[in-house]
Amino acid sequence: MINKLVPASLHKFLAAIAPVIMRIREISAANYLALCRNNRRRQQAIAGLVCCAALTFFVTMSRMQSATSSLGETTSVLIATSDIKPGDLITPQLFNRHTLPRSAVAPTALHDVQIGLVAQQSISIGELLTTTNTGTSTSKQLQLPVGFRSVAIVPPAALPPIQVGDHVDIIANGVVLAADALVLSLMENTTGEVTGVIVTRVIVTGVIVAVQAELSAAVASAAAIGDATLVVSS
């Protein structure tokens, strides 16, 4: 009945293009199957890469944990990133924090920068910050007089009893570089010994003095190489 309603010309046309339509369907089906296979391969490749990355991560973490365990307990230290002169103020920007085995770190090593900390001796690049090369000035300080320069001095020998406000002669190689210099402040170091309890002792290891401007270069040069000594004047 339907064939009778379709014109003969259209029927011939449909019969002619039927093989083409079937071929298009076959090609489309083949392309779809290929796309599915490619997607599966892509998903398999991604899954493989994820597994490799995860395995690498776990292996790396395991090795790091093994290395840390072999080092034992660790602690953080501060290492100088530039040369520091005696009397310079210690700031966090002058140091980098590193983690080292506790067994390789001296007990005098400092782990944080305290406010008011100053260098008591030259600190070279790569040197640890310790209680022996730094100190705090907890004593009173005097104002720098007009026409004077302040110089930090850490004598090579023990200091005589000295206080802020005292007047001292600064000597290097037997020559008086500056007479009647004013002591502006003291550089102090806190030491402790553990014998069941912690015993704290404050030691004056250096001074900051006011010297006449024209003498400051000679005094600073002698202090930098550790040749400057102090004599308390009356």
The string of pLDDT tens digits covering residues 6-15 is: 455 555 666 6
Rounded CA gap, 129 and 123, in Å? 8
Mean local confidence (pLDDT), 70-91: 79
For 143-198, write each residue's pLDDT tens digit.
788 889 989 888 877 778 888 888 999 999 889 999 989 888 887 765 554 444 44
The domain limits of the chain are: 9-69, 72-136, 137-234
- Listed in sequence order, the DSSP H helices in the chain are 2-5, 8-71, 216-224
Q: What is the CATH number of domain 72-136?
A: 3.90.1210.10
Q: How many residues does the chain have?
A: 234
Tell me the pTM. 0.41
In single-letter form, the type of residue at position 96 comes to N
Closest by alpha carbon to 84, among 131, 133, 141? 133
- Residue 84 pLDDT more than 50? yes
Q: What is the pLDDT of residues 121-141, one digit of tens each?
A: 778 898 888 877 777 654 556
**One-letter identity of residue 34:** A
What CA–CA distance (Å, rounded) separates 67 from 101? Answer: 11
Q: How much is the pLDDT for 70?
A: 53
Give buried/exposed letters for 150-178 (b at 16+ CB in 10 A, else e). Answer: bbbbbbeeebeeeebebebebbbeeeebb
* Band of pLDDT at residue 41, cut at 50, 70 and 90: low
- Output the pLDDT for position 199: 42
Residue 172 token pair: 């290097």
* pLDDT score recorded for residue 2: 45
Cα–Cα distance between 101 and 156 in angstroms, integer? 32
CB 207 within 8 A of CB 187: yes
pLDDT at 215 over 90: yes
